[in-house]
Structure 1
Amino acid sequence: MMDFRWPPPPDGRPERYRPPVNRGPQTGRPTLPTPPTELLATPHGVELECLATGAGHPVTVFAHGLAAGIPETRPLGSGVPGRRVFFQFRGHGRSAAPPGQWTYLDLARDLRAVADLYGATRALGVSLGAGALCRLLADNPNRFEKAVFYLPAVLDRPRPQIATKRLTDLLAAIEDGDAAAVAEVVALEIPAQLRNTPAAWAYLRQRIEQLMRDGLADGLADLPAQTAIVDRAALGEVTASALVLACRGDDLHPVSVAEDLAAALPDATLHVYDRPGMLWTDRADVRERIAGFLDD
């Protein structure tokens, strides 16, 4: 890690990797510093890392994307009324990593356990989390009153091969302790035109620090090749009103998946942004759209 020199900081001078100082959020930065979390014991025996903010009702649970976590999901809860519950899926952060091959059914159980224990009536899922939310609702169509699917990546067809390759490269880099290689993969999350900005550099350093500290479980490696549900027709019984958010130009989250999901849900609104990296390029609109949908 001490040999990490890429990408250069905004002033252009190379600098060795050092864990970032915990500072407040910077303008334009898509993550927030994470307050202390707690480990939640679940009925299915998998201990999950959780963070609850806000108070009162309604309660909304937030499910992150693959290789992401609570810090990347928290900005989506800005302005959402009531109590907001963020958690880490198995194999992420401080959550447990039980042995064996994991499926979207396992992720749906993680999501369901957190939602039940906190009494959540609404849910938001990002990418992998959106797939887990689909599986949960396919099996329990009356579980939530409202659901937000942010950048859904998979439904009843496997994800693109690029998703498997990116995760494989990330897992290998973390296993090797190669922070520069981790940076190469994580940088792809940032729109190309913003990668040399101070906000992008701060985001990149925070993500690298978290991944190098906590790692990712090998049990995640098979998930990109799996589908969330067997048949999208199972979503036809879902009673929750839904908001589906997608964007053009994102290879990991094709617009076609969002369109298929919105069509399969009985009561869904689809909104497609014109460019990828919505939290970088359309942050205010994303927050207002989500908060407005979840606000009674």
Structure 2
Amino acid sequence: MRGFRWPPPPDGGPRTWGPGPGAPRTGRPALPEPETELVATPHGVRLERLVTGTGEPGTVFAHGLANGIATTRPFASAVTGRKVFFQFRGHGRSDTPPGPWSYLDLARDLRAVADLSGATRAFGASLGAGALCRLLVESPERFERLVFFLPAALDRPRDTSARQWLADLLVAVESGDASAVADVVSTELPPAVRNTPAGWAFLRQRLDHLLRDGLAADLAGLLDQTPLRDASALCAVTAPALVIGCVGDDRHPVEVAEALAAALPAATLHVYDRPGVLWTERADLRDRISTFLNV
């Protein structure tokens, strides 16, 4: 495989040698992004929110560290009812209150959006999964169904690879250098995807958001914390839960997903056999999440 580079080729796709398909290739997003809104919360932090779909049930989707609404929406593509997406503090257009922050602060963000939107179900990815765990310790009966995708930490801090990745990303975003940001963001993609039109589209979208809205430096402090002191605190959560992990993802160890599933009384665990599941197992992931939530 040829190495990743930025900016992308003029035609938007990877350079190939020799004969091949001659159709136009593009790495541009297919559709414009929907307009979001800023909502006031009871704890005084305005959060960026997007609501799509109609009817019941309502599901709130909490994103991962340094990600946001755009990267969370694919998980909801087949989920019925009202879907509520938002950006945690320090992400996107949401407020950046004085730090340091804790998982309790993130749980308050998540709880406020869920309450204001009337959501009865919740999905949390990575950092969002940790915030959801913290919320459930305070309010174990808040949601009727739960999905945890690639939980990154439970009652032990995240490993050093996540710290270095976030440090590199914060420096790159602060510099405003698109190439430097792309170098860091490209590590989120499976190697086979990095030099494809879909990979370029993902990178363009991520760069647009990060260079436009920035990323709060106080987020780095969360990597030294844990959502819970003891995973056994989740024993009062009786709602059905789906926990999704994968083998080989250093920033989202499969052991965390296994520990979370063991701590939740009504959890089902599914483990994929390789990382990058949003790219390599998209159809199965879409069906698995929607089948669980569309009950």
Kept in 1: contact 2:28–2:200 (CA 8 A): no
Between the aligned partners of 1:7 and 1:243, the Cα distance in structure 2 is 39
Q: Partner residue of 2:163?
A: 164
1:35 is matched with 34
Amino acid at match of 1:47: R
CA distance in 1, matches of 2:177, 2:8: 16
Q: Verify the 8 A CA contact 1:34 1:70 in the aligned structure 2.
A: no
CA distance in structure 1 between the aligned counterparts of 2:249 and 2:276, rounded to whole angstroms: 8
Aligned to 1:116: 115
Aligned to 2:146: 147
CA distance in 1: counterparts of 2:116 and 2:28, whole angstroms: 30
Aligned to 1:187: 186
Q: Deviations along 1:216-273, whole A, 9 cap, x unmatched?
A: 0111111111101111010001121100011111110000000000000000000001
Matched residue of 1:212: which SS?
helix
**Pairing 1:12–2:25 present:** no
* 1:282 alignment counterpart: 281
Structure 2 gaps of 5+ residues are 17-25
Offset at residue 65 of structure 1 (A): 0.3
SS at match of 2:61: strand
CA shift, 1:194, in A, is 1.5
Instruction: Give the number of aligned pairs.
Output: 279
Equivalent residue letter for 2:192: Q
Code of the residue aligned with 1:12 in structure 2: it is: R
| Runs of 4+ residues deviating >6 angstroms | none
What letter corresponds to residue 37 of structure 1 in structure 2? T
Does residue 256 of the first structure (1) align with residue 271 of the second (2)? no
Instruction: Tell me the C-alpha RMSD between the 2 structures.
Output: 1.5
In the alignment, what sits opposite 1:241? Answer: 240
Structure 1, unmatched stretches of 5+, are 14-19, 26-32
**Conservation of the 8 A alpha-carbon contact between 2:29 and 2:201:** no
2:71 pairs with 1:72: yes
Q: Could you state the TM-score of these two structures normalised by the residue count of structure 2?
A: 0.92
Residue identity over aligned pairs, in percent, reads 66
The AA in structure 1 aligned to 2:64 is G
Please report how far the alpha carbon of residue 139 of structure 1 lies from its aligned counterpart in structure 2 after TM superposition.
1.3
Q: Report matched runs for 1:188-267 at 5 Å.
A: 188-267=187-266
TM-score (norm 1): 0.91
Residues 161-190 of structure 1, C-alpha deviations (whole Å, 9 max, x = no match): 110110011001111112111111100110
Q: Post-superposition shift, 1:89?
A: 0.3
Deviates more, 1:180-189 or 1:250-259: 180-189
